[in-house]
Chain A
Amino acid sequence: MEMRLNPGSDIISNLPDHVIETILVHLPIRDAVRTSVLSHKWRYKWATIPELVFDDYSIPPPFFDHNTILTAQDVIIHMHKLVNSIDRVLLLHNGLVHKFDLSTRFLNDSFIDSWILFLSRNGIKELTLKYRGEKHYRVPYSFFSCQAITCLKLLCCILEPPFVFKGFSHLKSLNLHSVILSDDVFETIISNCIALERLRVIELYGCTHFKIRGLNLQHLYFQGELTHICFIDAPRLSFVSIFLQNSLLEHVGRGDSCNLVQVLGPLTGLEKLATEGFFIKFLAIGNVPVRLPVTYDRLKSISLVMNFEDLNETLVMLCLLQSSPNLHELEIVHDDADFADLEEDFWKAQGQLDCSMNHLRVVRVSDIVWLQPELQFMKFVLANSPVLEILSVIRKSDIIFDETKMMEELLRFERASSIAEIVYNPNL
C-alpha cells in the first residue's frame, strides 16, 4: 500500500464526475469496471455511468465471434460467464441506466427478463437487444412498462404486449429486425408511439399488412415482405425507402388506379424516395397514370431499382419524374430480370412529352448492360435536363462484349445542359 506520489499530482481523479463518466463511457464495459481497482477514489466511479454496453467481448477471453462453431459445453460456459458479468455489473451499478446495449449469441431468457425488469425501474431510455441465436426471445411484460424509452432496437425478438399496452409515448426511434409480431401489435405500437420519428423495419414475421400512421414520423426504412401497405396521417414523412422481397403482389389500389397512387399518393412531404426489390413492380400494379394527381414539390432525390425492359415499371418511373418538378438527384439501378415487354418505340414516343426536369443535376445509372431501353432513357435524360451536371454510367461488371459502339452513341446524344458530363465507370 504505497502512496507513490502525493495526492496533488494525481491529475485525473479530480475532474468533475460527469467528465469522468464521459471518459468511462468511451471504454468497453470491462475496462470501465476494472477502473475500480485503480485507487480509492476510483472505486465506484464506474458505478454511475449511464451507459452499459455488453457484447460477446465483454467477458474475459477466449472470444467467440459469430462465425465460430462451438460445442455445447463452450456455449454453456460462455453463457454463464456473460450472464454472471452482466448480473454483477447491474447489481453493483448505482444510479440510472440510460442506455443498455446487449448483443450476443448466448442468451438465457430468464436472466434477460430480470435485467429488463431492472432497467424498467431505472429509467432506461435507449435499449438495444440483439440476440444472434437460433430461437427468438420473447420480451417480458416489464419491457412494455419502460415508459421513458426513446430509442429501441430489437433483433430476433417476439413482441406480444399486454392488452393494456398504450405504446411508448417518448419513443423516437424504433428499429425492428427479425421480430415476430402480429399486424395488430404493429399497428398499436406505431399509432400509439406518437413521438416516433424514425422507423426501421427489417423482416418482420407475422405482419403483412402495414398501416403506417405517425404524426411525427420522418424516416421510414422497410425491408421484407408485405402484401399491403398504406400511409395514414404521415404528413412529415420525408424519407421513404422500401425494399420489397416478395414477388407475389396484390393490387391495393382503389378501383383501377395503380398502387403507386394509392400508396405513395398521400406522401406529399416526400424528400427522398428509394425503392428496391419488387417494390416498383408493386407500385406498377394497376393503371399507371402519366402524372400523379399530386406533385411532390419537395422530392429531391429518387433512387429506383427497376427493369428497363418492363413497361409498367418504366411508366412508374416516368410518372414519378413528371410529378417531381424539383428533383435534384436520380439514381436508377438496372435489375436484369427475364422479362421484357417494352416496345421498341416507347422512348421515341416519350420524346414528344413535355417533361422538363429543370433541377436535375446528378443522374446515376448503374448495372447497365447496354440495352436499347437503357440508352434511350439516357438519351431522354440528357435531352430534358437543362442543368444537368453529371451523368454517371456504371456498367454491370460481367459484360464481355464490346461496348465501344454503345459508348460512342451515348456520347453523341444531344445534351440540353452545356455543363453536362458523362462519367463512365467500368466497375471492374
Chain B
Amino acid sequence: MAQESTGSEHSHQVRSSSVYLFMVGSYLQMSEGDMAVIKPEAMKSYIWLQTADGSIQQVEEEVAMFCPMIRQDILTGMGSSKNYTISLPRQVNPAIMSLILDYCRFHQVPGRSNKERKSFDEKFIRMDTKRLCELTSAADSLQLKSLVDLTSRVLARMIEGRTPEEIRETFHLPDDLTEEEKLEPLRNTADDPRIRRLNQLYARKRKELKQKDKLKNVEVEEDRVDERSVDDLLSFINGGDEDSKGVSAAKHKKKNHRRKDQSMDSSSINVNKNHMKSDILSSVCCNGDVNNALMQSLGKTSKVQDVANDTFAPEVEFDDGDIDDELDPAMKEELDREVEDFARILNSEWPERMQEILTSGQERRVVPMSMNGDDSLGRFTSANQAAWCLSVHAETLYQMRNNLRSAYSFRFFEKRLLLRTAVVTIQNAL
C-alpha cells in the first residue's frame, strides 16, 4: 500500500510524456529522484470506482481528479485498489460514467484553448434528451459544475421558444393541470394578448348567459303559464292561493298548446311581471265573498266546467299569431282599443254584457244558453260585485300594460278576465 502511494506521488512528478514511455512496457532507468525499476502499471496511477450497480471500473487518476467529489475521496486515500473503491452516487450508471470520464479526460488537459474546449463541448452534448437529463443528474451528484452548466444550457435551449406541448413531448411531462389552473394566477400577466382577449370574451359570455338565465326564468314561467290547459287557467282564476302551484305544474302540457306556444314564447317577460300578475289576480280572486261564491258555484258545476272547457277552448285562442316581441305602433293602437273596449265592457251593465256574449260568439256552443234567462237578484248582485272588481282591475290592468308594454301579458290578462267574465255569466245563468 505504502509503495503504491509513493509510486503515485512519483507519477505526479513525472509528467505525462514520461508516463507514456512506460506504457509500452519497457523498463527505463530514470535519472530523476530515486526511481528504480518501477513497474509500468504503477507509473500511471489508476483509481478504482464503483457504480451503484456494483460494477467496478479503473480510471486514470488525473482524469478522476477532475471531479471534485472523487477528488475529495482520492485525497483521503480511497480508491487506490480494487478493495477500496470509491462508491459513486446512485445517479451515475456505467454508461453515463464513461461519458463523464470522456469529458473529464478532455478537459483536464491544461493546454487546450477555449476554442478547442468549446468545439468539444458542442460535439459532446449531442445525445438524446433522456441521456442528457441523466448526465445532468450524474454530473450534479459528482459536483462537476462545468458539466452541469453545459448540460443546463442545452436543456434550456430545448425549452426556449417552444410551446408547452412541444416541451411536454420532449421531456415526457404529464399534462396534469386543469384549464383554469393553466390560466391562473398568471392570467392577468400582459403575457398573452390572446388570453386577455379570451377573458374579455368569457366575461361577455358570462354576462350574456346571466341575462339569458334571467330571461329563461321568466320564459320558463311564461311557458309554464302558457302551457297550462284551460283547466289550469280556470283553477288559476278561481283559486288565487293556488296560483303558484298551478303555474309550476303545467309544464307537461306543451303538446296540446302548440298554437299558444308559437304566439307566446317570443315575448320577453320578467319575473316581476308574473308576480304582479299573480298578485293582482290573487287579489281579485281573494276579494272575499266573490271568490268563495265563485268557487262554490264552480264546485257544484263541474259539469259546467267541462262544458266550459269545451266551450272556451276555442275562446281561449285569440289570434295571437301576429303577436311578436316588440310592440309596433299598429299593435299598440290595437291594444289601446282593446283595453278601452274591455274597460267599457266591464264597466257596462251585466245584462248588456251577457247579451253581447250571447250574440257575439258563433263558436260558442254554449249549451247553457238555455240557462240564460232569469236572474235571481242575489246572483246578479254577486255578479255585479264581480264585475265591479273586474272593472276596477281593468284599470289596473291598463296601467300595468302601459308599464309592461307587453302584448302577451295584456292578452293573457284579457283572456283571464274574459274567462272570468264568462264564468260569472254562467254562474248567473245557473
Interaction A to B: yes
Instruction: Say how far A1's CB is from chain B's closest CB, in angstroms.
Output: 6
Given known contacts A9-B172, A92-B185, A38 and B149 CB-to-CB distance under 8 angstroms: no
Complex interface: chain A residues within 8 A of B167 (CB)? 35, 38
Q: B152 contacts which chain A residues (CB < 8 A)?
A: 19, 22-23, 26
For the complex, what is the distance from the CA of A85 to the CA of B196, rounded to whole Å? 13
Q: How far is the CA of A287 from the CA of B129 in the complex (A)?
A: 69
| Residues of chain B lying within 8 A (CB to CB) of residue A2 | 174-175
**Smallest CB separation, A294 vs chain B (Å):** 36
Contact A39 B177, beta carbon cutoff 8 Å: yes
Which residues of chain A have C-beta atoms less than 8 A from B176's C-beta? 1, 3, 39-40
Residue of chain B at shortest CB distance from A3: B174
From 160 to 219 in chain B, residues with beta carbon under 8 angstroms from any chain A beta carbon are 160-161, 164, 167-168, 171-178, 181-182, 185-186, 188-193
**Known interface pairs A11-B129, A92-B186; A85-B174 also in contact (CB < 8 Å):** no
Tell me the bound Cα distance from A39 to B140 in angstroms.
23
Contact in complex: B191, A60 (CB < 8 Å): yes
Q: How far is the CA of A397 from the CA of B140 in the complex (A)?
A: 53
Residues of A within 8 A of B185 (CB): 92
Q: For B134, list chain A residues within 8 Å (CB).
A: 11
Are A26 and B153 CB-contacts (below 8 A) given A11-B133, A40-B176?
A: yes
Interface flag for B337 (CB, 8 Å): no
| B159 contacts A35, C-beta separation under 8 Å | yes
Given A1-B178, A88-B188, A15 contacting B156 (CB threshold 8 A): no
Residue B137 CB within 8 A of the other chain: yes
Interface residues of A in 13-50 (CB under 8 A from B): 13, 15-16, 18-19, 22-24, 26-28, 30-31, 33-43
Is there a chain A Cβ closer than 8 Å to B82's Cβ? Answer: no
Chain B residues in 8 Å Cβ range of A1: 175-178
Distance between A26 CB and nearest chain B CB, rounded to angstroms: 4
Are A81's CB and B190's CB within 8 A? yes
**Shortest beta-carbon distance, A192 to chain B, in Å?**
34
Q: Does B294 contact A (CB under 8 A)?
A: no
Is A19's CB under 8 angstroms from B160's CB? Answer: no
Q: Per-residue CB proximity of B120-143 to A under 8 Å, as 1/0?
A: 000000000110011011001000
Interface residues in A, total, Cβ within 8 A:
43
Which of B133, B167, B189 has the most C-beta atoms of chain A within 10 angstroms of its own C-beta? B189
Is A80 an interface residue when CB atoms closer than 8 A count as contact?
Answer: yes
Q: CA–CA, A2 to B165, complex, Å?
A: 12
Say yes or no: is B155 at the interface (Cβ < 8 Å to chain A): yes
Q: Contact: B164 with A34, CB < 8 Å?
A: yes
Q: Is B174 touching A10 in the complex (CB atoms < 8 A)?
A: yes
Residue in B133, B164, B178, B190 whose beta carbon sits within 8 Å of that of A15 in the complex: B133
What are the residues of chain B within 8 A of A92 when measuring CB–CB?
185-186
Q: Evaluate contact between B130 and A11: CB separation under 8 angstroms.
A: yes
Task: Give the interface size bracket for B toward A.
Answer: 35 or more
CB distance from B312 to the nearest CB of A (A): 58
Shortest Cβ distance from B173 into chain A, in angstroms? 4
Residue of B nearest to A12 (CB): B171
Nearest Cβ distance between residue A269 and chain B, in whole angstroms? 28
Is the CB of A245 closer than 8 A to any CB of chain B?
A: no
Q: Is the CB of A19 within 8 A of B186?
A: no
Q: From A26, which residue of chain B is reached at the shortest CB distance?
A: B156
Bound Cα distance A13, B168 (Å): 11
| B254 nearest CB across to chain A (Å) | 39
Shortest C-beta distance, B214 to chain A (Å), equals: 33
Which residue of chain A has its CB nearest to the CB of B163?
Answer: A34
In the complex, the answer to whether A85 meets B190 with C-beta atoms within 8 Å is: yes
CA distance A38 to B159 in the complex (A): 11
Is A4 part of the contact surface with B, judged by Cβ < 8 Å? yes
* B148 close to A (CB within 8 Å): yes
Q: Give the residue among B164, B168, B173, B178 with the most A Cβ atoms within 10 A.
A: B173
Q: From B134, which residue of chain A is reached at the shortest CB distance?
A: A11
| A contact residues around B171 at 8 Å (CB) | 10-13
Partner of A39 from the list B153, B168, B191, B192 (CB cut-off 8 Å) is: B168
Query: B89: shortest Cβ distance to chain A, in Å?
Result: 11
Q: Let me know if A5 and B190 touch, CB within 8 A.
A: no
Most chain A beta-carbon contacts within 10 A, residue among B156, B178, B182: B156
CB distance from A211 to the nearest CB of B (A): 39
B174 and A4 contacting across the interface, CB-CB below 8 Å: yes
Who on chain B is nearest to A18 by CB? B140
CA separation between A38 and B170, bound complex, in Å?
11
A7 within 8 A of B: yes
Residue among B172, B181, B193 with the most chain A CB within 10 A?
B172
Chain A residue numbers with a CB within 8 Å of B164 are 34, 37-38
Closest 9 CB pairs of A and B: A26-B156, A84-B190, A22-B152, A81-B190, A39-B173, A11-B133, A12-B171, A9-B172, A23-B152
Q: Give 28 A-B contacts (CB < 8 Å), ordered by A residue.
A: A1-B175, A2-B174, A2-B175, A3-B175, A12-B133, A12-B155, A16-B140, A19-B136, A19-B137, A19-B140, A19-B152, A22-B149, A26-B152, A26-B153, A27-B159, A28-B160, A30-B191, A33-B191, A34-B191, A38-B168, A43-B181, A59-B190, A60-B192, A80-B190, A84-B188, A85-B189, A88-B186, A92-B185
